[in-house]
């Protein structure tokens, strides 16, 4: 691996890691300062963000190990796909006509205390009426829509890291 390839890959891993840190920091801020309670799909998306951050950290530190790079890039890509699926579901729920929005469930704490963990896990991916509510917008996009954009970006980076791993690809003349 050439020196410029190592630096390019390292910057991509670091960019993913810092993006996740920023996104999760804002999520904590929105929850604790703006008092925006996360819905089940938001919580699921946070899990995917954390996974992407962990895979980016591993990829960053194992920059010269080709197998670890492939595994980390693959897992980052899968995490991005999972995040896109949950964010896409949330965006879909947010754009449903009000009469078609599913009823609100009892809440995550109730699920965790009273339901088997497999059912709770499936409910986290399904969402409920709470996931259709939009309490926050930035540049006319909801958090779910922004999350879908971020996960799409992570998917692109993951695919670049996964498929452009041969030496010389990064240094090709423009």
Q: Residue 173 domain-assigned?
A: no
Q: Residue 22 domain-assigned?
A: yes
Task: Provide the domain count of the chain.
Answer: 1
Question: What average pLDDT does the segment 95-117 reach?
Answer: 66
Enclosing domain of residue 18: 3-163
**Predicted pLDDT at 132:** 65
CA–CA distance, 151 with 132 (Å, rounded to integer): 19
Instruction: Specify the range with the lowest mean pLDDT, choosing from 22-31, 78-87, 130-139, 157-166.
Output: 130-139
Q: Residue 48 domain-assigned?
A: yes
pTM: 0.80
**Predicted pLDDT at 71:** 94
Looking up residue 53, the CATH number of its domain turns out to be: 1.20.1550.10
Average pLDDT, the chain: 82
DSSP 99-156: GGSPPP-S-HHHHHHHS-HHHHHHHHHH--GGGG----EETTEEHHHHHHHHHHHHHH
Cα-Cα end-to-end distance for the chain: 20
Q: Residue 172 domain-assigned?
A: no
Q: Residue 171 domain-assigned?
A: no
Tens of pLDDT, residues 155-170: 999 999 988 755 544 4
Q: Residue 83 domain-assigned?
A: yes
Q: Residue 159 domain-assigned?
A: yes
Q: Residue 118 domain-assigned?
A: yes
């Amino acid at each position: 691996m050439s020196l410029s390839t190592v630096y390019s890959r390292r910057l991509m891993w670091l960019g993913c890691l810092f993006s996740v840190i920023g996104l999760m920091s804002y999520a904590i801020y929105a929850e604790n300062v703006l008092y925006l309670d996360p819905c089940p799909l938001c919580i699921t998306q946070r899990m995917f963000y954390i996974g992407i951050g962990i895979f980016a950290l591993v990829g960053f530190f194992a920059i010269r190990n080709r197998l670890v790079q492939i595994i980390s890039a693959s897992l980052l890509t899968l995490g991005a796909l999972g995040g896109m699926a949950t964010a896409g579901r949330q965006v879909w729920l947010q754009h449903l006509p009000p009469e078609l929005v599913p009823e609100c469930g009892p809440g995550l704490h109730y699920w965790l205390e009273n339901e088997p963990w497999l059912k709770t896990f499936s409910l986290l991916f399904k969402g409920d009426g709470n996931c259709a509510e939009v309490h926050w917008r930035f540049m006319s996009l909801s958090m779910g829509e922004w999350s879908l954009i971020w996960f799409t970006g992570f998917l692109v980076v993951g695919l670049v890291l996964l498929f452009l791993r041969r030496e010389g690809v990064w240094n090709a003349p423009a």
